[in-house]
Structure 1
Amino acid sequence: MPNPGRMFEVVQMLRASRFPLTADAIAARLEVTKRTVYRDIAALQVAGVPIEGAAGIGYVMRTGYDLPPLMFTPEEIEAISVGLSLIARTGDHSLGMAGKSVLSKIHAVRPTHQPSIDQTHLIVSPWHSIPAAHFDLRSLRRAIRDERKLRLHYRDGAGQFTERAVCPLAVVYYIDGILLAGFCELRQDFRHFRHDRIEACEPLDDFFKGNGDRLRKKWQQSHDLFSECVPR
């Protein structure tokens, strides 16, 4: 009898591939026999999935095919459950709310025969040592997505207060802190700002549209996230 989870994986592989996939390639990926792949593809074709091709040549998926309701393997369900639970350790409350929204959406479209997303055998401690923020961290993530400059009211480790206009590029989550990486217009260089030392954060009317990816790549090339950027 065809396995719904495995058939979903076949569909995913064909949708993601730019070239025809042979039964050998699919079988190796799924760790099954070629005969099993042939049966799964035949069942999908009978169900109306637009797969074209033949044995020995390869298979392709016609464009425009919409996937059925979300289907996950048990291990994928466990990965989602643990990953979303770990969000609590960031102390980022708005991100935590978004995680709960993800869970509700998965519940809404998950077929009834799949494992529940509520994993009672996988327990993640919510404890963390990240200090509380003075503002909603959602504003940082939104500004990064919008490629919009921010004005930061920042107090450094010595207690000195400054105002900075920054092109925000990335939020880096550590065990004991969160950093905003950005291009500082005052210093004309990349700088890192501890979230708990940002006393206020205001979006500016200035944007850096089209430059976010370029600046982010340049920053990543010049900094080691897990040595030079450790919160201090």
Structure 2
Amino acid sequence: MSRSQRLFDLLQALRRHRRPVSGRVLAEETGVSLRTLYRDIASLQAQGADIEGEPGLGYVLKPGFLLPPLMFTPEEIEALVLGARWVAQRGDSHLQGAARNALARISAVLPPELRTELETSPLLVGPGDAFPVGGIDLSILRGAIRAERKVSLTYHTGGGEASARVVWPFALSFFDHARVVIAWCELRNGFRHFRTDRIETADVLESRYPKRRQALLRAWRDAEGVPTSDV
């Protein structure tokens, strides 16, 4: 194992432990000797990692540290490329551009061998069905979700019935054939799902909804029986 990979693995091991962890446990998790473990911790500290502790007491990594040349393993790069390529093909126009820009920024800070991995990744996204024509600019909904603002919608059902709603949008879901905003509907006093291609108008209101979007998302998961995401 290269020294750079060893340091990366040590960082990952430290991030997994929120409480101080002994050097012996870290050495076992990373597959190195205790002497090498102490030397690697000293190397990370010299490079700016805020690792507190000492032999016999345990170590803990304070959040916020990234080691730029070692940010991603080859598998993580493949996951990022595949996800960004999917967004660049299946997201709305703003997200498509953001996905391409994100890959370019990641590529710029990677060392040459990892940059080659990113630029020549063999993982491709196949063509999908076109999304229904119509709907609003999704950046409006994403902005409302980030700001936790209420939105006044004009919406029509599949049968053509129109209605006006005030909703609390807290998530946006991308399916193969549709995009759906998940929200609390004041009219129905419950969670509702709105296909974005059926939203005729969406006006972001000044008022914020009374709950945090994370709390709404948890309540919606519980109500719908949706498992918690790992990411």
Contact 2:167 2:183 in 1 (8 A): yes
More helix by share: 2
Contact 1:74 1:115 in 2 (8 A): no
1:68 maps to 67
1:129-172: CA deviation from partner (whole Å, max 9, x where unpaired): 43244221111111111110111111101111111111112112
Provide TM-score, normalisation by structure 2: 0.81
2:43 maps to 43
The one-letter code sitting in structure 2 at the alignment partner of 1:161 is A
Root-mean-square deviation over aligned CA pairs: 2.8
The answer to whether the aligner puts 1:216 opposite 2:217 as a matched pair is: yes
CA separation of 1:156 and 1:52: change in aligned 2, threshold 3 A = closer
1:180 maps to 181
Structure 1: tracts of 5 or more residues without a match: 227-232
Contact 2:89 2:96 in 1 (8 A): no
Structure 1 moving runs of 4+ over 6 Å: none
Contact 1:69 1:110 in 2 (8 A): yes
CA separation of 1:167 and 1:53: change in aligned 2, threshold 3 A = closer
Contact 2:148 2:209 in 1 (8 A): yes
1:230 maps to none
> In the TM superposition, what are the counterparts of 1:82-231 in structure 2 within 5 Å?
82-116=82-116, 117-224=118-225
The one-letter code sitting in structure 1 at the alignment partner of 2:179 is I
2:59 maps to 59
| Cα offset, 1:193, TM superposition | 0.7
> Larger deviation: 191-200 or 126-135?
126-135
| Cα offset, 1:40, TM superposition | 2.5
* Distance (whole Å) between structure 1 residues aligned to residue 91 and residue 67 of structure 2: 35
Provide TM-score, normalisation by structure 1: 0.81
The one-letter code sitting in structure 1 at the alignment partner of 2:166 is A
Contact 1:23 1:58 in 2 (8 A): yes
CA separation of 1:64 and 1:28: change in aligned 2, threshold 3 A = closer
Contact 1:181 1:192 in 2 (8 A): yes
Contact 1:143 1:168 in 2 (8 A): yes
* Distance (whole Å) between structure 1 residues aligned to residue 194 and residue 130 of structure 2: 17
